[in-house]
Structure 1
Amino acid sequence: MPVYTHGGDIRTAQAAYGGEVLDFSANLNPLGMPDPVRQAAAQADCAPYPDPLCRDLRRAIAAHDGVGAEQVVCGNGAADLIFRLVFALKPKKALVTAPTFSEYEEALTCVGCEVTRYTLDQDRNFDLDEGFVDTIGPDVDLVFLCTPNNPTGRLIDQDLLESVVKRCGAVGAVLVVDECFLPLATGGPGLAPWLASHPNLVLLRAFTKSYAMAGLRLGYCLTANQDLRERLGKFAQPWSVSTPAQAAGVAALTCCPHWAAEGRGFVEGVRPGLAAGLTAAGCTVIPGQANYLLFRLPGVADLKERLLTRGVLIRSCANYHGLGPDWYRVCVKGEAENRRLLAALREVL
């Protein structure tokens, strides 16, 4: 069987533990899925084929994000769109950071692309720096960035982002900025207003995190590049966005437009306590700005396995380039759940 390296593998964890586990490995809105979203998905008429053009959903996204409906391309989660972008563009050389979300490089490898990794400095909290701009040469076809970055939880400085956008435009590289965690992060307005003047800019967004609906698989990208949108359509499976997912997305944006903001406020209230508890336990915590925290427990490479014996699942970051076997990531949950994580951590240490 293929090796699963992402968070949220509840079934494997439950089988290993022998019961229910508390999942800190998937970074979802701690408020959970809104009731109107759950009801819309449950009540969707699944007899006919889904709308292949996602018309109602695209209109709802356009109204919510302040863009034209024609600029919206929907997919079966953001990961679907990452692969479709790479298959459509077939880049020869691409640039990513290290560490960052592994699916960028996974997709690029599928088309035989040469991947250059720009290693982020732990002493700078893994923040992107000006040196990244200098690596975007005329031979670079595609650049992936993530803000806030996964797994570091750090936002990219807006002025630096603007420099990257301009540099990519100057050399003709397509810039994909993953904003999937941005609605739950402290600060960061997003780059949607820049789309019209930067046709090589693509924004990745998703309902997965903001509305805690990972199982429904719903993401989208925004771009003003009509040719790229048409090419993305050619690399999509027919009916790739299910009827329940489309209904849930419309309900999320029309019935609960402030859900992500409420989740962000909740996270900002409990994240400092979780970070302080991890630090008190001996962890080196990166001061994240999102709904998750990256930390290191020097010399302890089996913390995930130890915590699972207490019914708590966390994300090992051993497979991230630029990190190592003693790096981990946890999402931010409610105070009671965070206390249970910290109690389990003290027990296993």
Structure 2
Amino acid sequence: MEPEAVRTASRVPHGGTTDSTVLDFSANTNPERPDGVDDVYADALDASTRYPDDDYAEFRAAAADYVDCDPESVVPTAGGLEALRLAFEVTLAAGDSALVPEPSFGEYDHEIHLQGADPVHVAHDEILDADPGEHEVAVVCTPNNPTGELADSGRLRDFAARCRDAGTVLVVDEAFLDFTDAPSLAGESGVIVARSLTKMFGLPGIRAGFAVATGDLGERLAVARRSWSLSTPAAAVGAHCMRDTEFVSRTRERVATERERLRESLSERFAVSPSDAPFLLLDVGDRDVDSVVETARQRGVAIRDATTFPTLDSHVRVAVKRPDENDELLRALADV
């Protein structure tokens, strides 16, 4: 990390609210979680009087099964964001550049800046056509946050091959990929995959995720990883959740059905971007975004002001939740 870059950096705005009196549609997390989490957490808490086993064999085996890769290539991290920081720490130096989609997750720019490197922005729907050759790193978010579209698997693999030929490391943020049936790029040569367990399993406070890379990249990540990077409860709960394939399938079906229902209804009043993710991006047109957000909140629903994302000046983002909660969202936005 570049000390001078830290001095000029600032925090990145995110969704999520601590106000328990409102329904939170500003953060894209599952409102449900797998059965048995409480018991797994309690057992792991009892074992937390000792340091975690820094090998994390059980967690890495579950993660490898979850994304279909070798357990040796899994690097446990305290959430997907730590996986991203680790990826940029081992690939970027001061003066380097990284190809970044726009609009997309604001932490990419932040983390790249902290290394003293420069993000070079490309439209999110043009990133796979970009030339990675002049950059040390290229970043793809699939499905992209906040727009929601899934990258075509064939085109993404072609882009990975072009990055590999150019000597450019491809960092793929798959935080929302498990809401789709698309294959992970985990284990692909020259690629670092970042995964989060926050979104699918509805446990943002647990802070569990992982990175995947092979060869020299994997070795660099493993060496740079902080010791005891996952708490004992996070590792146990994470492994338990990733093994619950029925929960994942059930969540995918619910999100797909409810997302389409929301899209059809909200399209009567807003321009709604196509989405493969558990959220929808709405263009509110000539309405005042602050007013839309405040009105929804007064009606008991928190939604995300998406104007904090570059290039978006008339947008909000809403999560997809359970049917009764989604009904509340529709009521809150009925006549704004």
Q: Is TM more than 0.5 here?
A: yes
What's 1:105 paired with? 109
Structure 1 equivalent of residue 189 of structure 2: 199
Q: Is the 8 A contact 1:133 1:167 kept in 2?
A: no
Distance 1:313 1:119 in 2: 28
Counterpart for residue 156 of structure 1: 151
Corresponding residue of 2:13: 5
Task: State the SS of the aligned residue for 1:210.
Answer: helix
Aligned runs of 1:23-102 on 2, under 5 Å? 23-30=24-31, 32-44=32-44, 45-91=47-93, 92-102=96-106
Q: Which amino acid aligns with 2:185?
A: L
Which of 108, 114, 120 aligns to 1:116? It is 120
- SS of residue matched to 2:100: strand
Paired with 1:229 and 1:166, the residues of 2 have a C-alpha distance of 18
284, 294, 306: which one aligns with 2:281: 294
Q: Structure 1: how far apart are the matches of 2:106 and 2:27?
A: 15
Look up the equivalent residue of 2:182 and give its one-letter code: G
Q: Is the 8 A contact 1:176 1:201 kept in 2?
A: yes
Alpha-carbon separation, structure 2, partners of 1:135 and 1:202: 18
For residues 101 and 265 of structure 1, what CA distance do their matches in structure 2 show?
25
What do the CA deviations read for 1:220-268 (whole angstroms, capped 9, x no partner)? 111112x3233223433331200000110121133x1232221010111
Question: Could you tell me whether the CA contact under 8 Å between 2:12 and 2:106 is conserved in 1?
Answer: no
The 8 Å contact of residues 119 and 322 in structure 1, kept in 2 or not, is answered as no
Aligned length: 321
Counterpart in 2 of 1:277?
265
SS at match of 1:89: coil
For residue 106 of structure 1, give the secondary structure of its aligned residue in structure 2.
Answer: helix
Aligned residue number for residue 265 of structure 1: 253
- Shift of residue 151, structure 1, vs aligned partner: 0.7
1:214 match: secondary structure: coil
Q: State the match for 1:223 in structure 2.
A: 213
Q: Distance in 2 between matches of 1:136 and 1:238?
A: 33
Q: Partners of 1:289 and 1:35 in 2: how far apart?
A: 25
1:265-310 residue CA offsets vs partner (Å, 9 max, x unmatched): 0111111111122122x21100111111111101222122221112
Q: 1:240 aligns with which of 229, 247, 250?
A: 229
Q: Which range moved further: 164-173 or 19-28?
A: 19-28
Map Cα deviations across residues 196-238 of structure 1 (whole Å, 9 max, x no partner). xx4211111121111111110101111112x323322343333
Other-structure match for 2:312: 323
Q: Is the 8 A contact 1:133 1:163 kept in 2?
A: no
CA apart distance, 1:317: 1.0
1:22 — aligned with what? Answer: 23
Equivalent AA in structure 1 for residue 324 of structure 2: A
Task: Tell me the percent identity.
Answer: 34
Unpaired stretches in structure 2, ≥5 consecutive residues: 1-9
Native 8 Å contact 2:92 2:115 kept in 1: yes
Which residue number in structure 1 is paired with residue 200 of structure 2?
A: 210
Verify the 8 A CA contact 1:50 1:242 in the aligned structure 2.
yes
SS at match of 2:289: coil
**What is the rounded CA distance, in whole Å, between the counterparts of 1:69 and 1:166 in structure 2?**
23
Change (3 A) 1:100 1:48: same
The residue aligned with 2:5 is none
Shift in Å at residue 99 of structure 1?
0.8
Q: 3-state DSSP class of the match of 2:295? A: helix
TM-score by length of 2: 0.90
Please tell me whether the aligned partners of residues 192 and 217 of structure 2 are also in contact (alpha carbons under 8 angstroms): no
Is contact 1:210-1:259 (8 Å) kept?
no
CA displacement, residues 134-153 of structure 1 (integer Å, 9 cap, x when unaligned): 4312x211011011111111
The verdict on how the C-alpha distance between 1:4 and 1:173 changes in structure 2, with shifts beyond 3 A counting, is closer
TM-score, normalised to structure 1, is 0.87
Kept in 2, the 8 Å contact 1:72–1:221? The answer is yes
Q: Which runs of 5+ in 1 are unaligned?
A: 121-127
Whether contact under 8 Å (1:97, 1:119) holds in the other structure is yes
| Larger deviation, residues 298-307 vs 337-346 | 298-307
- CA distance in 2 between partners of 1:261 and 1:6 (Å): 27
Offset from partner CA, 1:47-83 (integer Å, 9 cap, x none):
1111222121112222333221111001000101111
Contact conserved, 1:83 with 1:107, CA < 8 A, in 2?
Answer: yes
